[in-house]
Amino acid sequence: MMVDEHAGRVPDWLIVRHDGGLYVPGAVVLAGATTRTRAGLFAALAAVLTLPAYLGETWDALFDVLRDRLDAGPLTLLITDAGQLLVDEPSDQYGLLLAVLGDLATSAPHPLRVILDEAVPS
């Protein structure tokens, strides 16, 4: 029987923190409150990354435009108050987002880092 030595580990491209230290040099910042729905997440990403207007509302479309963005150089996304990320969507949507980001992180020509800051603003 094979044992998955990575089971339960957070992948290298994903950082989860709880300290609210908001400054990450070069990071593109998304506010968790704007990402409660998939449409909100896509709109927030399109705004901060200046993604093409043809970005659809599907995970495949998001993969395609983020892949194009990662062809140009590395990308660090910082989501503040990340506990709100996709909370108004069915629970599988969060897993789908992580799957898309994971595929990008392992296949894109430039590094992708995603920082989920779960500190609650005081």
The tens digit of pLDDT for each residue in 75-97 reads: 999 999 999 999 999 999 999 99
- Structure confidence at residue 51 (pLDDT): 84
Distance CA 39, CA 36 (A): 9
Tell which residue, 72, 49, 62, 69, has the closest CA to residue 101: 62
pLDDT of the residue at 105: 95
CATH architecture of the region 14-117? 2-Layer Sandwich (3.30)
Q: What pLDDT does residue 74 have? A: 95
What's the Cα-to-Cα distance from 93 to each of 45, 52, 58, 66, rounded to whole Å? 16, 22, 11, 17
**What would the pLDDT profile of 19-38 be if each residue is shown by its tens digit?**
766 567 889 999 999 999 99
pLDDT higher than threshold 90 for residue 102: yes
Give the mean model confidence (pLDDT) for residues 9-24.
Answer: 79
pLDDT in tens, 50-73: 888 777 789 999 999 999 999 999
Percent of the chain whose pLDDT exceeds 70: 87
Pairing of strands 14-17, 112-117: parallel
Domain boundaries defined on the chain: 14-117
